[in-house]
A and B are shown apart, each in its own frame.
Chain A
Amino acid sequence: MTSPLINYTLHLADNALILGHRNSEWTGHGPVLEQDIAISNIALDLIGQARNFYQYAAQLINRSTNQPNTATEDTVAYLRDAHDFKNCLLVEQTNGDWAKTILKQFYFSAYQFYLFQRLRDSKDETLAAIAEKSLKEVTYHLRWSSEWAIRLGDGTEESHARMTNAVDDLWMFAGEMFVAADYEIACANKGEAVDVVLLKSDWLQKVKAIFNEATLPVPQHSWMQSGGKEGRHTEHLGYILAEMQFMQRAYPGSTW
């Protein structure tokens, strides 16, 4: 019950779900009310995107096993273990302070922005439709996170120092987004997926432009950690899943 297209769809879904879940940790804890609402709205958009991808993944799984209604968006989200999750390491990193949260969102939104621009032309109609829909939301996310990166980087001594720390913490997880996993290559060859290597220069250009305004240095060191797309995660993912999946694991099939 696996195929490159299923894995690719799950990868896109997992990215959105895990960052959406991370952002939702801010709900009720944001630095000011308006930004608490903003990050919660972004969480909602991402979880909505995740649902669209999961629904499609579930359809593909059911079609491949010829067992309708076995997999659902809920079973794929709640009943897979950490090594089955295919999200990039970046999105599972802890929120840290507001600066780290903003930078994580900015890196990811810039990636999603260029990704969905191309995925709109996917030969897979469902992926293309989800990309087209999501791009409108991501455009807002990118704008919001860019403004905050500039505001904090080019802000006070303390906000600048916090952004600098965030850059140090997260840079090593950025590279993975542009190294294709086997399923991405297989799907890209069929015109279903985007070749992520092609996104890197656009992404880097965007980061440089925003960092320039934010008076932040673009890191030069190039060692990048990867593995998330293949299910090798940092210690943080397990804790997210423990919290997120607890109810469905303890009380299978429970509903609101």
Chain B
Amino acid sequence: MNNDEKITEKKIMELLAQVNDPEVPVLSVIDLGIVREVKLNGEETEIVITPTYSGCPAMDVIQINIRKVLLEKGFKNVKITNTLSPAWTTDWMSGHAKEKLKAFGIAPPTIKQQVCHTELFHDGEAIQCPRCNSYNTRMISRFGSTACKALYQCNDCREPFDYFKCH
């Protein structure tokens, strides 16, 4: 940290954009929308984060990595707080993040309203294949390799893929 440089929330957010989600390494904690607030309380820098899912096992690693990045940049007094309310939603994911997900081979979450469909045995959402862009896809399992994803397969190009669930 250059002492001449004024520390602002914006600068800290830029630093946090270097901290990636260990389970979806193409996304940063800023892309995911889990950093809710940055507070400068005198000497102390407080980062308020919220979990994606209650049992997300990546949260501990994410906290360690946020602390590490800030300590490396010369911040001394780093406090990380967890908040649950308002509950995280995929609507907080940036458009840029959704493009990165797709390029990585994970279908990005659709917009929130579409999940309100509650009829059983129906997907309720048309999910686009990240490989060939076809909407002719089917759900294999509502639960995927991590809590935030579901398993899909494309009926046209046959590619199996992860879908980052709308939440």
Residues of A that sit less than 8 Å from B by CB: 34-35, 37-38, 41-42, 44-49, 51-52, 125-126, 128-130, 132-134, 136-137, 140, 143-144, 146-147, 150, 213
Contact = CB atoms under 8 A, between A and B. Distances in A.
B141 A35 contact: yes
Given A44-B55, A48-B51, A51-B54, A140 B142 contact: yes
A48 B121 CA distance: 27
B85 A128 contact: yes
Interface of B: 51, 53-57, 83-88, 118, 120-121, 140-145, 147, 151, 167
Contacts of B84: 52, 126, 129-130, 132-133
- In this complex, the member of B57, B143, B147, B151 whose beta carbon has the largest number of chain A beta carbons within 10 angstroms is B143
A121 to B, nearest CB: 13
Nearest to A42: B143
Contacts of B88: 133
B83 to A, nearest CB: 8
B85 A129 contact: yes
The 3 closest A-B pairs by CB, nearest first: A48-B55, A48-B54, A129-B85
Contact of B142 (A44, A136, A144): A144
A204 to B, nearest CB: 18
Nearest to A44: B55
21 contacts: A34-B141, A34-B143, A34-B151, A37-B141, A38-B142, A44-B53, A44-B57, A45-B53, A45-B147, A48-B51, A48-B55, A48-B56, A49-B55, A52-B54, A129-B83, A129-B84, A133-B84, A133-B87, A137-B147, A144-B143, A150-B120
A51 B143 CA distance: 21
